[in-house]
Chain A
Amino acid sequence: MKSSPVIGLVGNPNAGKSSLFNQLTGLRQKTGNFPGVTVDKKSGPWAIDEQTTATVVDFPGIYSIYPKSLDEQIVTDVLANSNHPDYPDVTIVVIDASNLHRNLLLFTQVIDLGVPVVLALNMLDVAKDEGKEVNAVRLAMQFQVPVVRINARTGEGLEPLKKAVLSQLRQPSFAEKLFFDPEKSANGVIADTKTQYQLSNNYLALQYVVQHDGFSFLNTQQRVGLDAIIDKHNFNETKFLASETIDRYRHIGPIVDDVVTDRRPANQRTWTQRLDRILLHPVWGYAIFLLILLLIFQTIFAWAQPFMDGIDAGVAWLNGQLKESLPVGPLSDLLTDGILAGIGGILVFIPQIAFLFLLVALLEESGYMSRVMLIMDRLMRPFGLNGRSVVPLISGVACAVPAIMATRSIGTRRDRLITILVTPLMSCSARLPIYTILIALVVPSQRVWGIFNVQGLALMALYLLGLVSALLAALVLKLVLKAKERSYYIMELPTFKLPRWNHVALTVWESVRAFVWEAGRVILAISIVLWVLASYGPGDAMDKAEANVRQQNTSLGNDELQNQIASERLEKSYAGVFGHFIEPVIRPLGYDWKIGIALLSSFAAREVFVGTMSTIYSIGSSDDETGVTIRERLRQERNPETGGPMYTPALAWSLLIFYVFAMMCMSTLAATQRETKSWKWPAVQLVYMMTLAYVAAFATYQFMK
């Protein structure tokens, strides 16, 4: 027996596969990629006994081993290739006991591939509620495989599962004969494939024949060889697969009759059906969806605020303490103005991101998200999108990178490409910091109709602007891109469930960690580089500027003098030189060279903008003025030409609009490149979004000033 075996988890969507995975691995799980492809791979360690720690791999949920989307392809690609590093030594097939027919279809396919399996019979409680009793012993006898009763939500049955997996590892047992033997009806094709590719399993040979284009382990020559076999025997794949499915169901029927005692009263109305009558209602359906969206934005803005203020104050206090206790010098400046200002800029957004992911996870978990896809499909279709595009678009509100990855469930290529291209227009959480600060600066904090905060409404308007532009962009793309295949939309509507809280907590934890760690590192690095660029300048230009100020302004008070010196020094620094260099381009949008620095530095990641502003403005202010937040500093900033506040509504809105449209995120472009496998589409995305941003910001500023 191997000391570090691989255990695969396979099953229908919604059968409880992910719950079981969380039960087995808990917080030790990690997300990565399957080698060679960009399909998310969740894996984690599972201690089976004292000597053996297995790696559990959670495969994407599938209905059959014939894939309908890119994500699903990986399952057969691994299961048909015993040399694959993720090839499971034992495969646990998770079965939803309340829906045996359809779940057993996949199960019989997996056993026919010749992998040692354990059948984990899940959701027996749901079956029982529906009046169905499933006999696990009979099921085991029917298939000659180990069957374990589990409850993936509560973690019941994990010990027996361990024992079953362990005995399959020690002494793998297989079903004696194929459940469906393709040789009977596709004789020549199977025989030829077996001899030509040295296969012993008839069903595996069938997979070579019908799936070879999706098998990464076959080379071009081998694929051509298989095409030749198909041609030689005039083999009709679609017909054959349809008859395979019908044949399997024909044999599954009597088995289910044997193992299930059904006492279900006919026509009972479940509470899922009752809820659906309201949630899919022509009026109430949309009204409730809108209300939920509104609630999400109110939460992000209003409920997260106290937590954010707390973090803000904490960082400012720490900064003040450090400045007082540390000796004056460039190193302590770097620590306080560079690093701490940068870190503060990251930490402060944790509450909003946590709330956002919490709510999205709750909608997803409860089953409501599927209803949203359903009621939105008809509305999305005219835009070249479909109901499944709604999930990427809504996740895009959190982050475009996972959202673009979520488009893999969209089966049609054109719909998927359009969704990828427009998703970054949805305002992601990285834009939230920019929105929050600028809105707080120019929109009064009042209430209308007693409940809605005006700032919250302004925020929602920006998000809506993102949504509307995403739809319009999709419409344009639909006219440009021609459809190559037909779009289809068949999906299971899950019943409503109470959210699994450990699931929700894990999702929130993962996303916050990813934000702090992934985005945080970039922000921190850029903050430090920026501090250096802003603190040092070419030659002695900065010292000369300081001497100049001292000479000309002998009458000024100490504070004012220090401020004047600091801002003159910044202007002559490397960062200042950069800012001045691009000022002519951004002047028509209302921006000065300081904002220019922030724009440039946020080119790789837009969330850097706020960190940069903090760094720039804390450098540009006198040192004894501690504990003042970035928002206050922006408010105090004067326009040198007019003498009024620098951040007028026109400027703030121009910046806001710019960031709604601008494609300032390297990670998103990289994700688009990966998912479309071409450099053309990220280039298209970058150009169209930047053009849109510049034109819209220009119009906004010129119109409002």
Chain B
Amino acid sequence: MNKRSVADLKTGERATIQSFTDETMSLKLLEMGCLPGAQVYLSAKAPLGDPICLNVAGYVLAMRRAEAATILIDND
């Protein structure tokens, strides 16, 4: 089975960040607090399901689905 990513989360669903598939993107995400092992949850989606809003460490990051797909997760 393919690994799940943040892009596969449903609104309200929780998960733990496991790793990143894209080095350049991971730099930006890391700086914004998306660390491996961090708890995240999908707080909202924009009307067309893209971009998505991800709760990380107490604040909300908006990102596109394509970017969210580079964050691999473990289910909680």
Interface residues of A (CB under 8 A from B): 63-64, 66, 68, 98-99, 101-102, 105, 130, 238-239, 241-242, 245-246, 249, 273, 276-277, 280-283, 285-286, 370, 373-375, 377-379, 387, 488-493, 495
A101 touches B33 (CB 8 A): yes
Contact between B61 and A239 (Cβ–Cβ < 8 Å)?
Answer: no
Known contacts A245-B31, A249-B35, A276-B43: does B51 contact A488 (CB below 8 Å)? Answer: no
Q: Which 3 A-B residue pairs are closest in the complex by CB-CB distance?
A: A282-B47, A493-B60, A245-B30
**A interface footprint on B23-60 (CB within 8 Å = 1, 0 otherwise):** 11111111111011000000111111111010001111
On chain B, the number of residues with a Cβ less than 8 Å from chain A's Cβ atoms is 32
Query: In the bound complex, do residue A280 and residue B28 qualify as a contact, i.e. CB atoms below 8 Å apart?
Result: no
9 contacts between A and B (CB under 8 A): A105-B31, A238-B27, A276-B53, A282-B48, A375-B47, A488-B64, A491-B61, A491-B63, A492-B59
Known A-B contacts A374-B62, A493-B62; the reply to A239 vs B35 at CB < 8 A is no
B47–A286 CB distance below 8 A: yes
Contact across chains for B61 and A280 when beta carbons are under 8 A apart:
no
Residues of B within 8 A of A63 (CB): 31-32
| Set of chain B residues within 8 Å of A373, measured between Cβ atoms | 62
**Which residues of chain B are within 8 angstroms of A285 by Cβ–Cβ distance?**
46-47
| Residues of B close to A493: CB separation below 8 A | 53, 59-62
Contact of A242 among B30, B44, B67 (CB under 8 A): B30
Q: Which B residue's beta carbon lies closest to that of A62?
A: B31
A-side contacts of B60, CB under 8 Å: 492-493, 495
Which B residues are closer than 8 A to A by beta carbons?
23-33, 35-36, 43-51, 53, 57-64, 67
Evaluate contact between B32 and A273: CB separation under 8 angstroms.
no
Q: Which residue of B lies closest to A105 (CB)?
A: B31
A284 nearest CB across to chain B (Å)? 9
- A378 x B44 contact (CB < 8 A): no
A489 touches B31 (CB 8 A): no
The answer for the CA separation of A491 and B23 in the assembled complex, in Å, is: 18
Q: A130-B58, A242-B23 are in contact. Are A377 and B47 (CB under 8 A)?
A: no
Shortest Cβ distance from A272 into B: residue: B60
Q: Which residue of B lies closest to A98 (CB)?
A: B58
From B23, B28, B46, give the contact of A378 (CB < 8 A).
B46
Main secondary structure, interface of A, reads helix
Contact present for A387 and B51 (CB under 8 Å): yes
Name B47's contact: one of A239, A246, A280, A370 (CB within 8 Å): A280
Contacting pair A242 B26 (CB below 8 A): yes
Is the CB–CB distance between B31 and A280 below 8 Å?
A: no
B48 CB to closest chain A CB (Å) equals 4
Instruction: Kindly list chain B residues whose C-beta atoms are within 8 Å of the C-beta of A379.
Output: 48
Contact B46 A66 (CB under 8 A): no
Contacts of A375 in B (CB 8 A): 46-47
CA–CA, A130 and B58, complex, Å: 10
Tell me whether B62 and A370 are in contact (CB under 8 A): yes
**Provided the pairs A66-B27, A370-B62, A374-B46 are in contact, do residues A489 and B35 lie with their beta carbons within 8 angstroms?**
no
**Which one of A99, A276, A370, A488 contacts B44 once the chains associate, using CB atoms below 8 Å?**
A276
Contact B53 A374 (CB under 8 A): yes
CA A548 – CA B6 in complex, angstroms? 84
Report the bound CA distance from A238 to B20 in whole Å: 13
Q: Which of chain A's residues have a CB closer than 8 A to the CB of B43?
A: 273, 276
Shortest beta-carbon distance from A320 to chain B in Å: 56
Q: A488 is contacted by which of B28, B36, B46 (Cβ under 8 Å)?
A: B28
CA of A68 to CA of B30, assembled, Å: 13
Kindly report which residue of chain A lies nearest to residue B14, judged by CB atoms: A267
Residue of chain B at shortest CB distance from A370: B62
Given contacts A98-B58, A101-B57, A488-B25, contact A374 B51 (CB under 8 A): yes
User: In the complex the two chains form, what is the Cα distance from A286 to B57 in whole Å?
Assistant: 29
Contact, CB under 8 Å: B62 / A491? yes
Residue numbers in A under 8 Å from B44 (CB-CB):
273, 276-277, 280
What B residues does A105 contact at CB under 8 A?
31, 33
**In whole angstroms, how far apart are the Cα atoms of A373 and B61 in the complex?**
13
Q: What residues of A have a CB within 8 angstroms of the CB of B23 in the complex?
A: 238-239, 242
Pairwise interchain contact A492-B57, C-beta atoms closer than 8 A: no
Closest Cβ neighbor of B55 among chain A residues: A273
Using Cβ atoms and an 8 Å threshold, which residues of chain A touch B33?
101-102, 105, 249
Is A246 a contact partner of B35 (Cβ separation < 8 A)?
Answer: yes
Contact status B30-A490, CB under 8 Å: no
A239 to B30, CA, bound (A): 12
Q: Note all chain A residues with C-beta closer than 8 A to B49.
A: 378
Could you tell me the distance in whole angstroms from the C-beta of A617 to the nearest C-beta in chain B? 50
Instruction: List chain A residues, Cβ under 8 A from B29.
Output: 490
